[in-house]
Structures are given as C-alpha cells and as structure tokens.
Amino acid sequence: MKRDASRLRQDIQKAERRRTPHIEALLGERELLRGGSLVTLNRRCGKPTCHCASGEGHPAKYLSLKEAGRTRMVYVGAAEDLALTEGNGRYRQFRQHRTAVAKLSKEALGLIDQLGRALTAPPPRRRRRRGG
C-alpha cells in the first residue's frame, strides 16, 4: 500500500530533525579521540616477599587495541590515565553519534524511496489496435 506523499515528506523531515543534533555533535568534536578499551589487570611484580605473590596482585591499567586483527595491550601510566580515559569516553560518544546518523540516514533513505514510489505515475495503458 502506498503512503500519502505529504505524510512521507513530514516523516522525512522528522528523521532529518532527529539526525541534526548527532551531526552537530560529530562536527563539534575538537579534541583527540582515543579508540580501544581501557582495562584493569591484576599483575604480579615478581618479588617473592611482596603481597602480590600470594594475593590478587597489583592493579594496572592497559589500553586494549586491535591492530592488524590482533589484540595489543599498551600500559597506561598514572600520568596518562586521566587524559586517556577522557579521550576514550569521547571516542565512545563519537561512535554512538555515528551509529545514530547511520541508522537515521537509512530510515530517511527508505522514506525517500517510498516517496519516489508514491509520486511515480503508473505506466500508460496500452491501447488496443482496432481492425486488422
């Protein structure tokens, strides 16, 4: 069933209005983004008299990255921790906005296709030849 063309136009405008804040957030990002995942691992220092030899270990932060299909763990020192955590949070927000733009764009394209079908005139009827 074809939807009314004016209703489709309204739906396309709504989809674009929902997409605009995400585009603005993407374009407004000025700081460096840091991909990957921050993880905390408990490591043993190797000293036989340390509490970590028989306990849980020392907590250490790492940035887990994918490079050439392999996972790489990069140690994050205390001096880098805050900047890296903030950059990673901005990266995650950036990806969420990107996902929303992709979803809303797909929705708008579907509505545009429906509008095109609703506005397309049916082919002319074939006339029968008389006589012959």
**Residue 3 has what pLDDT?**
61
Number of domain units in the chain: 1
Mean pLDDT of the chain, nearest integer: 89
* Digit-coded pLDDT (tens) for 95-112: 999 999 999 999 999 999
Domain span at residue 22 reads 5-119
For 55, 93, 100, 127, 129, the CA distances from 96, given in Å and listed in that order, are 39, 5, 6, 56, 61
Assigned domain for 54 exists: yes
* Digit-coded pLDDT (tens) for 69-78: 999 999 888 8
Assigned domain for 131 exists: no
Angle at alpha carbon of residue 66, lines to 95 and 90, rounded to 5°:
30
